[in-house]
Amino acid sequence: MAVHILVADDHPLFRDAIKSAISIPLGDDFEPPVVSEAEDFGSAMAALAADADTDLVLLDLSMPGSSGLSALVSVRAAYPSVPVIVISGTDDVSTVRRSIELGASGFISKSARTDAIRKGVADVLAGEIALPDDMNLGSEHDPEIGELIRRLRTLTPQQARVLGMLAEGLLNKQIAYELGVSEATIKAHVSAVLQKLNVDSRTQAVILLSKIGADMLREDQD
C-alpha cells in the first residue's frame, strides 16, 4: 500500500531532495509513497488537517511560523498518532536528544546521504527510532532545559495542543473555535498549562517554550 508522507521544509531544493530520496518504494510491502509538501508551519498543520491518511511527517525545525522544537511539540500534540522525523541542519547531540525526548520518532540531518534518508524513513515506518549513525544521546547538560522538557511531558495532549496554539498567537476564543470546545474549557486548559510550567502568564509560557529552540535557531542563522 502507498504511505502518505508530508515533507515540511521552507527550502524548495531540500524538499525536492527528500522527495527524490523517497520516491521509490521504501520496502517490499510498499508502493511509491504519496508525498505532500508544506513550506511553513501553518501550511504544514493545514496539510495534516486535510489528509487524515498521513503516515509520517518530516518536519524542519526552522520554518517560518515555528520556533525550533516548539513546532514538534505542537505537531505531536495535535496528531499524536502520526510519527514525526525531525530534519535539521543542526544535528548536534543536544538537538537530537531533545527532539526524541519531546516525541520525535527519528532525526535526519540535512547533510545525510540519500541512502541514510531512505533508511531513516523506512525504519520509522517500521516502528523503530531512527538516529544518525553511531550517535550516543547521553543526558541533558542544561538543567533548565531538562526541567522544561520534564514539565512539557507532563502536559496532556490537549494541554500541549493549547500551548502550541498560544505560541501561534491565537486567542482563547480562536483556540476554542479550532478545537470545537467552549472558551471556558480553553481557559481551564490554559490555567493548567501555566501551573504545570510554573509561570504566571501565557506570554511567559510562550517565552519558555521558545527556549527549547532558541540556541538551535541562532546556530542555524549564523
What structural domains and CATH numbers belong to the chain?
4-125 (3.40.50.2300), 143-221 (1.10.10.10)
- Dihedral sign for Cα atoms in the order 131, 102, 62, 173: positive
* pLDDT greater than 60 at residue 215: no
pTM, whole model, 2 decimals?
0.79
pLDDT in tens, 54-85: 999 999 988 887 767 778 888 888 898 999 99
pLDDT in tens, 185-212: 999 999 999 999 999 999 999 888 877 7
Cα–Cα distance between 167 and 164 in angstroms, integer? 5
Alpha-carbon separation of residue 7 from 67, 124, 151 (angstroms): 17, 14, 29
Name the E strands within the chain: 4-8, 34-38, 54-60, 84-88, 106-109
Alpha-carbon separation of residue 189 from 101, 126, 155 (angstroms): 23, 34, 10
| Per-residue confidence band for 221, with pLDDT thresholds at 50, 70 and 90 | very low
- Dihedral sign for Cα atoms in the order 205, 207, 210, 214: negative
Which strand ranges, in their side-by-side order, compose the sheet holding 34-38? Answer: 34-38, 4-8, 54-60, 84-88, 106-109
Lowest mean pLDDT among 46-55, 72-81, 84-93, 138-147: 138-147
Tell me, rounded to whole angstroms, the distance of Cα 142 from its chain centroid.
Answer: 21
Output the nine-digit C-alpha cell for 39: 513550506
* pLDDT greater than 50 at residue 219: no
